[in-house]
Structure 1
Amino acid sequence: MTTRDLSMRQDAHHERTGRISMSGDGLFHIDADGQLVSMTPAPYAAEDILQALLETHPDLLAGGQMTPEAPRRWALVKREQGIPDSDGSGARWSVDHLFVDQDAVPTLVEVKRSTDTRIRREVVGQMLDYAANGVRYWPIENLSLAFDATQSELGNDPHESLIALCEDRDVTIPEFFARVGDNLRAGRIRMVFVADVIPDELMRIVEFLNEQMNPAEVFAVEVKQYRAEGHDGTVIVPAVYGRTAAASTKTSSRRLVDRESALAASKPATLTAIQLLGELATDLGLLVDDTPSSAILKTPSRRSIAAVYLADWDSLDVSLEALRVRGWTSEADAAHTALSRLTSKVLTKKNPTMPTEDAVAHWHELRPILASIADLYAASA
């Protein structure tokens, strides 16, 4: 909500115990005695205070201002979420907050006070580093585990938090984070700079990036707090910058592609790979989850084994990092070696990806590799 919107709403709803109003001169509170109390901007004593506010009150990101036609809601994945810079590496950086919205779009948030000189330019390069590497190297299963741990630490049931976020009682954590993975692969992310005051220089950069980047979104959120001398209480007023006319048009047209359109745009080999994945699932008692942009082979306990990605990607991914997380390193290495023989593409160690043409051409060799991964999960159940 903008300052003007807040003023109109508060002036329209006069409370008997007092109200708040705004003018060009500042923010005012009318107390229960009818006295006009001037409130002035109060800087945050420390950056951590603003970070902690966002952790417990993500609505301060003002999702209704970002996309008024479909206001954003968020759930926290993790504060200080680590970001690797290569496959198999540890965290090189950490983003202040990683949220997900109701459409499973990852939202990276960096918080700076206006007194921090890095808020003008350095923070932009920092955020782009985070986004570029997070999109490529974040293991989805690790993000899912981080979400579970964070929500539990906040005193929430992780599944109930997800139900509230999506307003869907049928949503599951594995299915939702599979969609997070789809969005990361597509570069469908949101980068948000948060400060008590957004400098003009940062505002111009954000507006430019938000108009030029697609499908990523970039916003700045000014979260000002106001206090009145000699009075208790604080008023916090968020305002979003970056939603220019061009960016608004781009955002309103940017929606997840429907599955039918994605299938129609996919290569014949991709459609064949989906069929073969389904046959394997039927033979071995596995599951195939369909998302708008993928078909994911899973165990009955919903552990991801492999995924075929549609349209722009036309690839098959095998989930080897999840094996290593469980201590099955030698099995993961053996699978990686076997997969490398099936394609001329250089495969990453975490979640190797090959073109669907190669997957279909070498299906007789690929099928037993996927079956052996399924057997590992079944033996440990």
Structure 2
Amino acid sequence: MAIEFNDLIKTHNKENYYYIMDLDAIRKATRKLKSHWEYFFPELEIAYSYKSNNLSMVTKLMLFEGLSAETVSLHEIKLALDDGFAGEFIYFDGPVKLNNEIEFAISKGIKIQCDNTLEVERVILISNHIKVKPKISFRLSTDYKSTGLSRFGMSRDEFHESLLLLQENGLHLCGLHFHSGSNLTSHDYLIKALEYYSNEISKVKDIIHFIDIGGGYPASTANCDAVLVNNNYPKRVREALLKQGIDINKVSVVIEPGRILTEDYGYLISGIASVKERNDINIITISAPGTNVRSAQYHNNRFAFIIPQREECIETSLAHVFGSNCYESDIIAMNMSIPVDLSIDDKVLISSCGSYDIMNSSSWIRSKPKLIVISNGECFHDNYRPA
């Protein structure tokens, strides 16, 4: 672990709760991912997912490391532009794109990944109105947990209808987009999607500029061997694309990571508000609102512990940890080991909070946690960038 937490809490001991982002670890993880995928794909583009963590120090790091930007709203597009990303290196995803967002994206030369045929029609109408040709790619619907096609993206029929629309309006299809889910524990979801759309890929493989295979790569909280899955991903994808006849020396492969670059390098540190006993187990309530920890009870690989940390030989007990919201399911951690000399002056540290947790932090009851960023071994403060 790159951060010495016991030293940090001494510096910020008066804070009730705060986030720490380890930018040095994010930089290292980004370079490792980039190097690994570039080994398999000579024409690789990594589009960082703004929705996973849009803190300015994080997104500007991604720009500095040579990544592109993946966005889902006008707000995120403007953040990316303000950070320094050129329009040609911004992807506009998402199932809902408002007309003013589409017009802005077209005017900036941003790639619009269309979710459905009606959206393609709207993009064409708006582009005709402002007399600027759009950069259009199609998102194709993939199997959702073996239950059939997802509600997101186009079916085969919608793909062909949309492609005909482009041809009738003298427009060119720039690329194809696949997104097979989140925290995927297997590469098979994406491989099967590529196979399912083999005829559609064959029809456009010689005219498109890129294939965007989305995100969803598992972080440590995905309840699988995330390292093994992620290490095998590019090799398996390369095999599948070559099988489809894709020339990976001409067609760029785009990936859209977010969580795996940030999640494991953010931490929530909170004071303890109370300790009591229920049904023969300790109950700890922390100061931070539980809404600042997204679905923590489902992430078995998150870890939580008391700081300052004690010697290993000290006697311990177990506790369930809850946030400060007034509902029973505001669970932070179950069966956490605590020292028997626990003090109200101690803090609880919760790992893997560097991605959607920060984005979902709520000021519903109390102010959001402060944001402390560690870069080159030094502490900095950053601000939220809400829409």
Q: Higher Cα Rg: structure 1 or 2?
A: 1
Asked if Structure 1 and Structure 2 have the same fold, meaning a TM-score greater than 0.5 normalized by the shorter chain, the answer is: no
Shorter-chain TM band: under 0.3
Which has more helix, going by share of residues? 1
TM-score normalised by structure 2 residue count: 0.20
TM-score normalised by structure 1 residue count: 0.21
| Larger RCO (CA under 8 A, 6+ residues apart) | 2
